[in-house]
Amino acid sequence: MAGERKHTLHRFEIDGRRFVIDPETCFCLECDAVSWAVFEYYPDKSFEEIRPLLGGQFPPREIEEVISEIEWLRAGGSLWPKITPELLAKRYESTPTELSEIVVFPY
């Protein structure tokens, strides 16, 4: 994955809560301490490189759970979707649908 990356995730904090957002898909998730630490390195480093870096801070089982969840999100297209030239062209060929409503959640 590290070599395939086309865009990066954005990590940010609001009121002590930690989030990661994929700007390509607009998928946002709240992170616990383990996932926050993994996303500090991933996707620039592989999971094999991250495991020893975080092994002294978190139980290996928790690191493996986070890695499994990230892979599941990636496989489902929520994070780092595989955009082919055909899909990209289709995105800009279609006529945008009319926006019916916007919901804003103030913090």
pLDDT digits (tens, 9 = 90+) for 78-102: 888 777 777 667 767 766 666 667 7
Its pTM stands at 0.69
Cα-Cα end-to-end distance for the chain: 34
The DSSP call for residue 104 is -
How far apart (Å, rounded) are the C-alpha atoms in residues 68 and 29?
15
What are the tens digits of pLDDT across the range 23-43?
Answer: 888 899 999 999 999 999 988
**For 6, how many CA atoms within 13 A lie in the half-sphere containing its CB?**
10
Q: Where are the beta strands (DSSP E) in 1-107?
A: 10-14, 17-22, 27-31
In the chain, where are the structural domains located? Answer: 10-93
